[in-house]
Amino acid sequence: MTTTQQTPRPASAGVSAQPADGSAAGADRHAVEFRDVQIAYGKFVAVRDFSLSIAKGSFVTLLGPSGCGKTTILRSIAGLVDITSGQISIGGRRVDDVPIYKRNIGLVFQSYALFPHKTVFDNVAFGLKYRNVPRAEIARKVGQALEMVRLPGAEKKLPSQLSGGQQQRIALARAIVFEPEVLLLDEPLSALDANMREEMRVEIKKIQKATGITAIFVTHDQEEALSMSDRIVVMNAGSMEQIGTPQEVYDTPATAFVADFLGKANMLAGTVSAVDGAKATVALAAGQSVSVVSPRPLAQGAAVTVVVRPQKLSVAPGSGENRLSGRVVSTSYLGGSAIYEIDLGGKTIVRANNAITGRLAREGETVEVGFDPAGCVLLDDKGLRIA
Amino acid sequence: MTARTGDKEGRWAWRLTGFITVCVYIFMFAPIIATVVLSFNSSMFGGFPMTGFSLQWYVKLLGNEQVLAAFRTSLWIAVVTAIVTTAVGLVTAFALVRFDFRGKQILSTLVILPALVPETILGVGLLVLIKAVDQPRTLLILVLGHILLAVPYVVLIVQARMVGVRRVYEEAALSLGASRLASFREITLPLLLPAVIAGALLAFTISFDNTSASLFWRPAGVETMPTQILSMLKISISPEINALGTVMILVTVGIPLIGGLILQSLTRLKRRGEPKEETQ
């Protein structure tokens, strides 16, 4: 990645990143607030123009590919990374000059980072000890925290005697036991195997709900982001691409990057050939035409990209207004549903993910795929959503 | 055919390797064994043949006030050297691994340099320096010299371990509310402990063993064990020297050995199940 890389700056409301209620007087409702934060290492700008308010008690995910700056942002909240300009507040208090050990944050690492020479009890009690909590109280709280992560009675074990999933539970208990103002989770599931990951996903979400703690979660896994978050911040190359609820970012991606990164979107390039009020006809590069509904009138001849989710693309005959004919390249049977890859001609292959109602289309078969004009998102020639 | 010659060659290679190994071990240990065995010889001469078993040389050693003084001198110099060197080496290694600063490369080379420069040169060098600033040779100078000689080894040992202590532990401790000093004391230092103890023991033996540099630096009238042995050798190869040598061997081998055992019991922390960290 280079510093000169330009990311499309969406003009949509999402990027303003103001709280949903839009009020400015909500400072005490914000667990964490970024204002025009920039983080640079020498000439390399890791994060630019980052403004974000995170409501108390919410679960916010920073999602993006490797090197997009999401971990840097998380570490800047913790105080492990110094910001170059702008300001960060935790619970309404500016923390620019507050050292990490006075920030009152809970941090969970990808590699668990349990102290290998300390027992589970001493690990979990660590934060309480430095907050001068009386000894009896520490024992009670540690017991409670271990119960919460469903590992009661593990006090005397060493981290090395626990499995990866158990270690991460202990790490979680250690991070929440002293009731920090915000819980920061840096790809906490990446080191776990697939089964464990799913279990922990549910577990973390449950604990977050039960405690009401504000959680900021960093991941490159869109499934984790979609399933766990109240809001998702999609990051690319040091900038915020979109912020919204999982449904918002999935259904109405603000940029081509978001559409592509979250779920496998079909991106059909074309030009507007006819306009009729909100409706327009787009001649696809693949050779066929589709009609779409645009939030604002389109200019004839404008280049647009029609984004259709695989779930919105139906292979069943007679469904959807837009009919595109193609040949099935591959069929993956998944039990309840099937994923088709369909060649529309002109080197355009689309994916369709349908629940199986009737017969399964076979490879080589010619089929019609359809989608609703309202079931797609339109991007302009800069890759920004037309809204 | 080729396989058979190969086997034959392999067998010969094995025999040769075995033979050379045995030779090397004999070469390494024969002098030590000879010294130890001869220290119990009742003969008046410090060499073979053995004429009988006797502890008289040890008894004589205990009555030799010069030898005892030299032993005491060496012991306390070695202890002071070990303590100071370990502290200095620990801090240096920590700085070299954890912090980025200007001239870090130069510093890390400079720190190792005393281990690379021939000891005689260092000995003369320090002596010339002392003369240049018109200072007398004192015990302090001798101790400082020993520290100079031992620091590189401690730094190297601690540095190697420090690289293995992942920064994430310190970050976790800091995030939980421990100050930098507290997180060093509670997390980093315990994880470094094996290297710290190993470094201290090595520093002790380096100091206790040192001969050539000590010859240059010791104040007039002060003998360390090695210099004492040297001056005794000038007179005659007395069997007493064999006994003294045996004591030296006992100290320089025994102390690290005991340390190693303590270490083992301290670091009974199995390190299974530590995940590999994915880099961002």
- Run means of pLDDT, 10 residues per run, chain A, 387 residues: 41 39 53 92 90 93 92 92 92 88 92 92 94 93 93 90 92 94 93 87 92 94 92 93 93 90 87 85 84 84 89 76 86 88 84 83 86 85 83
Give contacts of B 188-207 with A, CB under 8 A. Answer: 190-191
Residue A236: what pLDDT? 93
Domain with CATH 3.40.50.300 in chain A: 13-253
Task: Identify the residue whose tokens are 């909500």.
Answer: A26
B90 touches chain A (CB under 8 A): no
Of B187, B276, B277, the CB nearest to A115: B187
Q: Cβ of B175 and A111 within 8 Å? A: no
**Cα–Cα distance between A208 and A206 in angstroms, integer?**
5
> What is the fold, at CATH topology level, of the domain defined by A13-253?
Rossmann fold (3.40.50)
Residue B280: what pLDDT? 37
For residue A13 the two structure tokens come to 């409301």
Q: Cβ of A191 and B278 within 8 Å? A: yes
Residue A39: what pLDDT? 93
Domain with CATH 2.40.50.140 in chain A: 264-379
Residue B267: what pLDDT? 60
The distance of A82 to chain B (nearest Cα, Å) reads 14
Provide mean pLDDT across the span B216-243.
Answer: 84
Of A71, A164, A174, the CB nearest to B273: A164
Spell out the domains of chain B, with CATH numbers in brackets. Answer: 65-266 (1.10.3720.10)
Q: Which residues of A9-46 are buried (b: 16+ CB within 10 A; e: fewer)?
A: ebebebbebebeeeeeebeebbbbbbeebebbeeeebb
Bigger pLDDT: A112 or B7? A112
Least confident residue range of A136-145, A217-226, B90-99, B239-248: B239-248
Nearest residue in A to B191, CA atom: A117
Provide mean pLDDT across the span B130-154.
Answer: 88
| Distance set, CA A214 to CA A31, A54, A125, A203 (Å) | 7, 8, 21, 15
Nearest residue in B to A68, CA atom: B280
Assess contact for A291 and A373: CB atoms under 8 A. Answer: yes
Query: Measured between beta carbons, which residues in chain A are less than 8 angstroms from residue B169?
Result: 113, 115-116
Given pLDDT bands bounded at 50, 70 and 90, which one contains residue B170? Answer: very high
> What is the fold, at CATH topology level, of the domain defined by A264-379?
OB fold (Dihydrolipoamide Acetyltransferase, E2P) (2.40.50)
B271 touches chain A (CB under 8 A): yes
Residue A26: what pLDDT? 47
Assess contact for A67 and A45: CB atoms under 8 A. Answer: no
For residue A101 the two structure tokens come to 């050990």
Residue A181: what pLDDT? 92
Residue B41: what pLDDT? 81
Assess contact for B239 and B43: CB atoms under 8 A. Answer: yes
Bigger pLDDT: B60 or B4? B60
Helix (H, G, I), strand (E, B) or coil at B12: helix
Residue A234: what pLDDT? 94
Provide mean pLDDT across the span B74-94.
Answer: 93
**Cα–Cα distance between A380 and A296 in angstroms, integer?**
12
Does the structure show a pLDDT above 80 at B271? no
Residue A77: what pLDDT? 93
Query: Measured between beta carbons, which residues in chain B are less than 8 angstroms from residue A190?
Result: 278
| Distance set, CA A85 to CA A35, A88, B65, B118 (Å) | 9, 10, 72, 52
Helix (H, G, I), strand (E, B) or coil at A290: strand
pTM of the predicted model as reported, rounded to 2 decimal places: 0.78
Give contacts of B 43-72 with A, CB under 8 A. Answer: none
Least confident residue range of A89-93, A297-301, B3-7, B138-142: B3-7
ipTM of the complex: 0.81
Helices A135-148 and A120-129: angle between axes, nearest 10 degrees: 120
Element (H, E) at A338: strand A337-343
Given pLDDT bands bounded at 50, 70 and 90, which one contains residue B126? Answer: confident
**Cα–Cα distance between A90 and A34 in angstroms, integer?**
9
The distance of A116 to chain B (nearest Cα, Å) reads 7
Given pLDDT bands bounded at 50, 70 and 90, which one contains residue B158? Answer: very high
Assess contact for B152 and B115: CB atoms under 8 A. Answer: yes
**Cα–Cα distance between A130 and B2 in angstroms, integer?**
72
Given pLDDT bands bounded at 50, 70 and 90, which one contains residue B266? Answer: low
